[in-house]
């Protein structure tokens, strides 16, 4: 008995995704433009929404970091590869050089906050 391939995949899997990037020799306006492009094209947020155990706090991310809860029918690797391809395309379209980190995972803990030494 043959099963439909759609039954073999876990539909609507969700992953927490965080990306961060650093640009070579770029002023802050270049970071802002790239961040806006990535936020739009990948539906990423500039805030992180913490868990119930962290009182559902909303925290602004650093200027070179974006995050989202990704609900797609794809594996972690497929998701990572898609995001990486989109990031590379955005870097090239903005004529930027730099580096990036992509984290795609399930079941992990995130902390975010501010430190003020006053």
What does the domain layout of the chain look like in residue ranges? 10-105
- Residues in CB range of 33: below 8 A, 6 or more apart: 94
CATH number for 10-105: choose from 3.30.70.240, 1.20.1530.20, 3.90.600.10, 3.20.20.70: 3.30.70.240
30 versus 75: which is more confidently predicted?
A: 30
C-alpha dist (Å) from residue 50 to 54, 98, 105:
6, 29, 15
Q: Cα dihedral sign for 34, 36, 37, 43?
A: positive
13 versus 91: which is more confidently predicted?
A: 91
- Return the pLDDT at 8: 36
pLDDT (average), residues 29-36: 95
- Return the pLDDT at 1: 38
The 10s digit of each residue's pLDDT in 43-77 is: 999 988 776 676 777 888 899 999 988 887 788 89
The model's pTM: 0.77
- How many residues does this entry show for the chain? 118
The 10s digit of each residue's pLDDT in 85-113 is: 999 999 999 999 999 999 998 877 777 77
For residue 29, pLDDT over 70 is answered with yes
- Quick one: how far is CA 13 from the chain centroid? 16
Confidence label for 11 from pLDDT (cuts 50, 70 and 90): low
């Amino acid at each position: 008995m043959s099963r439909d391939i759609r039954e073999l995949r876990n539909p609507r899997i969700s992953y927490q995704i965080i990306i961060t990037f650093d640009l070579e020799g770029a002023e802050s306006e270049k970071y802002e433009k790239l961040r806006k492009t990535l936020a739009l094209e990948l539906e990423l947020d500039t805030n992180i929404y913490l868990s119930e155990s962290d009182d559902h706090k909303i925290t602004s991310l650093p200027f070179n970091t974006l995050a989202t809860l990704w609900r797609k029918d794809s594996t972690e690797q497929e998701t990572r590869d898609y995001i990486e391809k989109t990031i590379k395309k955005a870097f090239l379209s903005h004529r930027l050089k730099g580096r990036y980190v992509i984290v795609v995972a399930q079941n992990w803990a995130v902390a975010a906050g501010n430190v003020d030494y006053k």
